[in-house]
């Protein structure tokens, strides 16, 4: 692969004052090493994901077996085989499986190792031989314990003549750090878009411990040197986009320190990490929090133009070496902000982006019986043309609310939050807008409990129908549906007393044997939800109208806010399907006029879900009676 021809102009745009030839040589050396070491890809890995299949999202240690010596990654493989999940969800996204210290894996202490408690790269490679594998590249930040961060902070407080300097100098300026003298003012930082309500700058200290060991930590020396015997080499402030509130004793809990992509050496390290994951079996690489990777004091520091140049460089590297590799942008933002991450004609970026808007709008619809915001949103999706990566049932974090703003009014958003917090036991997380105003940016609960109340006294069939209605709505959106494992099995919220943070309400670890017993029949709720979703996926793949390459779903108004009706057609227009969803807990009557069938009147209709045949009246109008949360997939005969 010729790196220079493809990437030089992007490097010059990113680093206009840099002599890029040296950077290009180092990139070419990385490529050469990758090409020399890379084993041939297995057929199962090189195949693109099926158009009609979906994704399972889980942690490496979601399933454990304390009674055996089997590693969680091996047990995960057993789970996929036991229930033939890989035949219907053939893309597996394993959340960060590297050594970590906080945020359930997203504060990485070592990018190049598998957490030994989870398994090894051998287990990862084994999974990649049976499913298309997606891994996370947590590229915006790393743990304070990560060598990249440790070296960068320690180097700032050593003289070049110190013999220890050479051990840390390769990581010079790998983070954005300031002294008290050059720290940006609060007014200069107010332009930042903050995903957290806490300050973006966190104090750090560099210590020399007994025996000469050097260590950098966040906070005052007493927080990580309680004995006070270490020598303080220096202090300062470091950029931490995802900072955390302090403990009651004012000790720092922040662990994630941002990497400095303004330094081309950090981009080279990112390329090295990316190629490492590709070499270990990853066909898709999720770029976590990618929108934040370029910082600029006095600016929003999210979605800066340089972010897109970085993605273009990484894409050209990966596609040049392994054409089947896809980059996925994790951008939890309104959709006008995520569309640019797909790139422009002649300048592609990520192959897929996350579509987060569906879930809060679908949850709002089934909790209020009002599908109008969802119908309005469906009309806006034509520009994506199926290039989305859709998280149908939320995520491991919670349900992000930023993408729903503009589709839900402030009063509707307040209504949704009130229902979820007061009745569903959901927990809010806050962010800060430029200027400092706090907003709820995320609501945490399991997918099941975002849709249904904990320990609900409603009939279980009604609760399951409500839950499945959200999934049916998601099938209207072109793209690849993704199920977080808690949503796939209908898990309820974790007990509040077990939580170390709000997100942990939806991050349980399950004992595999017990979970298998529940899915096999001990839990009527979990067994039914699990098998109903797998059955729906099987039926979905049988209908060409769900092909993501087809045009966007066409919403059809029936004058009833409790009913969502949309027409899907296959890419060549030879197959049609009308999806009709009652989003309320009351029966609804719907009359679909012949002209609304858009030139496709039929003497008879079949519900592809139940096999029931339906006949229109003499004028071609079709009358439907829908039970609470009932769904029809109508196809003309």
Given this model, what pLDDT does residue 210 score?
Answer: 84
Q: Give the model's pLDDT for residue 86.
A: 82
Residue that is last in its domain, among 210, 242, 258? 258
More confident residue, 13 or 324: 13
E strand map for 112-178 = 132-137, 141-143, 177-178
Do the bridges between strand 201-208 and strand 177-178 make them parallel or antiparallel, or are there none, so unpaired?
unpaired
| Position 47 confidence tier, pLDDT thresholds 50, 70, 90 | very low
Q: How much is the pLDDT for 401? A: 93
Closest listed residue to residue 536, CA positions, set 465, 601, 597, 598: 465
| pLDDT above 50: residue 191 | yes
Residue 602: the pLDDT is: 63
Span 329-339, average pLDDT? 89
Start-to-end CA distance of the chain, whole Å, equals: 52
76-126 tens-digit pLDDT: 999 999 999 988 888 999 999 999 999 999 999 999 999 999 999 999 999
Q: What is the pLDDT of residues 364-413, one digit of tens each?
A: 999 999 999 999 999 998 877 766 777 777 789 889 999 999 999 999 99
Which comes out higher in pLDDT, residue 47 or 605? 605
Q: How far apart are CA 92 and CA 125, in angstroms?
A: 12
Q: Does the residue 179 lie in any domain?
A: yes
Sign of CA pseudo-dihedral 157, 159, 163, 168: positive
Instruction: Find out whether 130 and 77 touch, Cβ atoms under 8 Å.
Output: yes
Phi-psi region of 105 (alpha: psi -120 to 50; beta: other; left: phi over 0): left
Distance CA 55, CA 75 (A): 18
Q: What is the pLDDT of residue 587?
A: 98
Q: Is residue 116 part of a domain?
A: no
- How many domains, in total, are found in the chain? 2
| Two tokens, residue 72 | 């969680």
Q: Residue 574's pLDDT is what? A: 84
Average pLDDT over residues 335-357: 89
pLDDT of res. 618: 82
Q: Is 236 helix (H, G, I), strand (E, B) or coil?
A: strand
Q: Is the pLDDT of residue 52 over 60?
A: no
pLDDT in tens, 204-219: 999 998 888 999 999 9
- pLDDT for position 386: 65
Domain boundary among 258, 287, 320: 258
For residues 19 and 135, what is the distance between their CA atoms, to the nearest angstrom? 33
Q: What is the DSSP letter of 534?
A: H
Residue that the structure tokens 């709008």 belong to = 361
Q: Could you give the CA distance from residue 51 to residue 61 in angstroms, rounded to a whole number?
A: 29
Name the pLDDT band for 43 (thresholds 50, 70, 90): very low
pLDDT greater than 50 at residue 44:
no
Please say whether the beta carbons of 633 and 607 come within 8 A: yes
pLDDT over 70 at 501, yes or no: yes
Residues in the chain, how many? 637
133-160 residue pLDDT tens = 999 999 999 999 999 999 999 999 999 9
Q: Are 215 and 150 in contact (CB under 8 A)?
A: yes
DSSP 259: B
Residue 611 lies in a domain: yes
pLDDT at 431: 84
Contact 138/242 with Cβ under 8 angstroms?
A: no
Residue 533 lies in a domain: no
CA distance 209 to 427: 41
Beta-bridged to residue 607, according to DSSP, are 634
Region 518-541 average pLDDT? 95
Residue 534: CB partners within 8 Å, gap ≥ 6? 83, 85, 88
Weakest mean pLDDT among 268-282, 324-338, 509-523: 324-338
Give the pLDDT confidence score for residue 5 in this predicted structure: 77
Residues 6+ apart with CB under 8 A from 626: 563, 580, 582, 587, 588, 589, 590, 632
Flag whether 322 is in a domain.
no
Range scoring the smallest mean pLDDT among 361-370, 420-429, 556-565, 592-601: 592-601
Please tell me the predicted confidence (pLDDT) of residue 45.
40
CA distances from 637 to 539, 570, 576, 622, 632 (A): 18, 16, 10, 14, 15
Which of 157-161, 229-233, 600-604 shows the lowest mean pLDDT across its residues? 600-604
Residue 561 located in a structural domain: yes
Range of lowest pLDDT (36-40, 234-238, 331-335): 36-40
Residue 519 pLDDT grade (very low, low, confident, very high; cuts 50, 70, 90) = very high
Q: pLDDT at position 42, please?
A: 45
In a domain, 210, yes or no: yes
CATH of the domain at 576: 2.60.40.1180
What confidence tens digit (pLDDT) does each residue in 570-581 have?
988 888 999 999
Q: How far is CA 499 from CA 401, 444, 490, 494, 510, in A?
A: 22, 12, 19, 8, 15
Domain final residue pick, 236, 258, 280: 258
Residues 6+ apart with CB under 8 A from 410: none
CA distance linking residue 383 with residue 225, whole number of Å: 55
DSSP state, residue 408 = B
Task: For strands 231-239 and 132-137, give the pairing.
Answer: unpaired
Average pLDDT value for the chain: 91
* Domain of 226, in residue numbers: 147-258
Rounded CA-CA distance 494/289 in Å is 26
Average pLDDT over residues 595-623: 82
Question: Sheet harboring 563-569: ordered strands across?
Answer: 554-555, 563-569, 576-582, 631-636, 605-607, 613-614
pLDDT of residue 46: 36
Q: For residue 589, tell me if it sits in a domain.
A: yes
Please report which helix (H) or strand (E) contains residue 203, including its range.
strand 201-208
pLDDT-wise least confident of 51-60, 417-426, 556-565: 51-60
| The pLDDT value given to residue 419 | 98
State the DSSP H helix or E strand holding residue 480, giving kind and residue range, or none if neither.
strand 480-484
d(C-alpha 151, C-alpha 167), whole Å = 8
The pLDDT of 173-183, averaged and rounded, is 97
Most confident by average pLDDT, 3-7, 47-51, 197-201: 197-201
Between CA 449 and CA 369 the distance in angstroms is 17
pLDDT digits (tens, 9 = 90+) for 348-369: 999 989 889 999 999 999 999 9
Classified as helix, coil or strand, 342 is helix
């Amino acid at each position: 692969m010729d790196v220079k021809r493809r990437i030089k102009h992007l490097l010059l745009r990113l680093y206009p004052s840099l002599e890029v030839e040296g950077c290009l040589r180092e990139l070419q050396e990385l490529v050469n090493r990758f090409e020399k070491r890379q084993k041939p890809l297995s057929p199962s890995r090189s195949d693109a994901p099926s158009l009609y299949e979906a994704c399972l999202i889980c942690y490496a240690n979601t399933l454990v077996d304390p009674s055996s010596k089997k590693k969680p990654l091996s047990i995960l493989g057993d789970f996929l085989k036991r229930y033939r999940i890989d035949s219907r969800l053939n893309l597996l996204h394993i959340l960060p499986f590297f050594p970590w210290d906080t945020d359930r894996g997203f504060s990485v202490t070592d990018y190049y190792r598998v957490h030994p408690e989870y398994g090894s790269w051998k287990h990862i490679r084994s999974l990649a031989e049976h499913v298309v594998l997606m891994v996370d590249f947590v590229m915006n930040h790393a743990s304070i314990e990560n060598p990249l961060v440790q070296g960068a902070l320690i180097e700032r407080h050593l003289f070049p003549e110190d013999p220890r300097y050479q051990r840390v100098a390769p990581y010079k300026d790998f983070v954005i750090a300031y002294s008290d003298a050059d720290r940006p003012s609060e007014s200069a930082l107010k332009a930042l878009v903050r995903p957290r309500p806490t300050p973006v700058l966190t104090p750090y200290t560099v210590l020399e411990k007994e025996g000469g060991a050097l260590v950098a930590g966040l906070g005052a020396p007493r927080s990580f040197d309680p004995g006070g015997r270490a020598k303080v080499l220096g202090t300062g402030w470091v950029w931490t986009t995802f900072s955390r509130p302090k403990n009651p004793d004012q000790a720092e809990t922040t662990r994630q320190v941002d990497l400095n992509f303004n330094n081309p050496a950090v981009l080279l390290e990112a390329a090295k990490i990316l190629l490492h994951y590709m070499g270990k079996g990853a066909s898709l690489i999720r770029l976590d929090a990618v929108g934040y990777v370029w910082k600029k004091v006095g600016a929003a520091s999210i979605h800066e133009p340089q972010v897109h140049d970085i993605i273009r460089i990484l894409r050209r590297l990966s596609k040049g070496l392994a054409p089947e590799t896809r980059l996925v942008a994790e951008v939890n933002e309104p959709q006008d902000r995520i569309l640019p991450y797909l790139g422009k004609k002649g300048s592609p970026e990520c192959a897929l982006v996350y579509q987060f808007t569906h879930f809060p709008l679908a949850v709002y619809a089934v909790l209020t019986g009002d599908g109008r915001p969802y119908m309005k949103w469906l009309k806006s999706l034509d520009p994506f043309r199926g290039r989305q990566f859709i998280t149908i049932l939320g995520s491991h974090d919670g349900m992000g609310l930023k993408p729903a703003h503009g589709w839900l009014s402030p009063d509707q958003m307040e209504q949704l939050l009130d229902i979820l917090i007061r009745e569903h036991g959901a927990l809010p997380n806050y962010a800060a807008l430029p200027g400092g105003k706090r907003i709820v940016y995320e609501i945490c609960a399991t997918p099941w409990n975002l849709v249904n109340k904990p320990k609900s006294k409603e009939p279980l069939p009604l609760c399951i129908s409500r839950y499945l209605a959200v999934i049916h709505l998601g099938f209207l959106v072109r793209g690849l549906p993704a199920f977080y494992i808690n949503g796939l099995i209908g898990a309820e919220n974790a007990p509040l007393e077990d939580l170390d943070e709000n997100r942990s309400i939806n991050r349980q670890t399950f004992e595999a044997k017990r979970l298998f017993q529940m899915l096999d029949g001990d839990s009527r709720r979990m067994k039914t939800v699990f098998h109903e979703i797998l059955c729906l996926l099987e039926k979905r793949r049988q209908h060409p109208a769900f092909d993501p390459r087809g045009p966007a779903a066409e919403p059809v108004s029936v004058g009833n806010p409790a009913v969502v009706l949309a027409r899907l057609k296959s890419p060549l227009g030879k197959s049609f399907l009308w999806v009709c969803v009652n989003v309320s807990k009351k029966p609804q009557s719907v009359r679909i006029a012949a002209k609304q069938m858009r030139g496709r009147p039929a003497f008879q209709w079949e519900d592809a879900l139940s096999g029931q045949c339906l006949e229109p009246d003499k004028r071609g109008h079709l009358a439907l009676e829908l039970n609470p949360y009932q769904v029809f997939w109508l196809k003309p005969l």
